[in-house]
Structure 1
């Protein structure tokens, strides 16, 4: 498999989404705008030449849009291999590049969000365990922070207190989201309209800075839905899924 690193120079022409084919789609453009601002912070986006089939996105943990304490680590935003491409070693290829580059930069290790059982839009725990990752911390809602240390004495990364116990005071449905996930550009407005049409108390909170993300009340910041103060899900929803949840 041939891989391409997406940079500021080729961002506009490269395909960067796992499920959206058109580069002109508002979802893709919102994600690209988010990426463009992250490259100067050390973000790496490595993808296969196949459109959206295999890619890894990672960044120094100090600049990650998640509420973690992981100084000196590399944080993996996403490691994705599409169905037909699974089982060919591409995940290992991409992860190995991340490992080697992180070691070359003197990092302590890697970390990534996961859960004891596979959750939508989170890493596969079976794959991580196979690669030597271990659990560093776990939030009350079952979201875990897994890590791969490069040295035995490396301090395990952990969640900040704000994310360790996901809870908010606001009643109704409250959604925290970022532009890191391209789907939000389409589906967050869909949920807002659906809530208005059905008289459902709903508020979407757009996280627009690293500082906001690093102090969010949830381990997952790209999409986290709460109801009456309690965390519900990190799964992006269309109108039908949302109404079914209600």
Structure 2
């Protein structure tokens, strides 16, 4: 019978077990950046729970207070799930991890738990598992972003997205990357963009979002960790191949 364990990773354990994503490339800059980011966020109360099956990593969930979250959403007194991933589906692993977050939220007297999803990319969690676990869709934003909530009391205030997305995007006319290192794949996404821009003779402005205040003010999408904008147009909010980046940039340059 399989031995299933849930382990809350802290700074000390991170040195040994490591973070989940990109764990096969522990010397990559993206992996290093993620671990540095986690160590800072642990001080803010972020939870990084790994699921082990027979001592092998098979999934994880990352969540934190909305006030410290990397998602662009108004959700005071909620917990925000950043990431949920399992390597084996249909085993109930995802539900176990979601329930862990819900129980933490209840014990801390939070209003509930939220998650931002998007059907265009695997960079956000899939909404289906949350709908199966009684989350409800409560708001949407451009580019197919959706806000789901598990609310403990029906009379508590619902979380919402900002509404000024077009104004946010229009302020960036030069080729601009806005990023944080909540995701280890941000590094390679940045490298691909810069390589494509160099091929086309374009300069790239990189804005590292240092805190939640900057994130809430500047991010052009609810997924606050990576955005590429050029001539007031959103190029991407997730990793693209060099070829795909060049194609999109050329369309705007013509």
Q: TM-score, normalised by structure 2?
A: 0.87
**Structure 2 counterpart SS, 1:213:** helix
Q: Deviations over 1:62-82 (max 9, x none)?
A: 111222211110000101112
Q: Deviations over 1:70-98 (max 9, x none)?
A: 1110000101112xx11110000100111
**Structure 2 residue aligned with 1:25:** 28
How big is the shift at 1:212? 1.1
CA contact (8 A) 1:64 1:214 kept: no
Asked if 2 retains the 8 angstrom alpha-carbon contact of 1:16 and 1:52, the reply is no
| Counterpart Cα distance in 2 of 1:155 and 1:164 | 26
Partner of 1:121: 123
Residue 45 (structure 1) shift: 0.1
Q: Is the 8 A contact 1:162 1:218 kept in 2?
A: no
Which 4+ runs in 1 deviate beyond 6 A?
none
Aligned partner of 2:209 in structure 1 is 207
Residue of 151, 154, 171 corresponding to 1:152: 154
Is the 1:54–1:80 Cα contact (8 Å) retained in structure 2? yes
Task: Quote the Cα distance in structure 2 between the aligned partners of 1:224 and 1:87.
Answer: 32
Contact 1:141–1:166 (CA<8 Å) still a contact in 2?
Answer: no
User: What are the residue-to-residue correspondences of 1:29-108 with 2, within 5 Å?
Assistant: 29-49=32-52, 53-82=58-87, 85-108=88-111
Give yes or no for contact 1:55–1:79 (8 Å, CA) kept in 2: yes
Displacement of 1:189 after TM fit? 3.0
1:183 to 170, 185, 192: 185
Number of residues paired by the alignment? 243
Deviations 1:21-70 (A, max 9, x none): 13332211100111111112110000123665310000011111222211
Identify unmatched segments of 5+ residues in structure 1: none
Q: What are structure 2's unaligned runs of at least 5 residues?
A: 250-254
TM-score normalised over the length of structure 1: 0.89
- The structural deviation recorded for 1:155 is 1.1
Q: Cα gap change, 1:166/1:133 in structure 2, threshold over 3 Å: closer, same or farther?
A: farther
1:222–1:141 CA distance, 2 compared to 1 (3 A): same
Match of 1:132 in 2: 134
Between the aligned partners of 1:228 and 1:144, the Cα distance in structure 2 is 25
- Are the aligned partners of 1:164 and 1:219 in contact in 2 as well (CA < 8 Å)? no
Q: CA RMSD in A?
A: 2.1
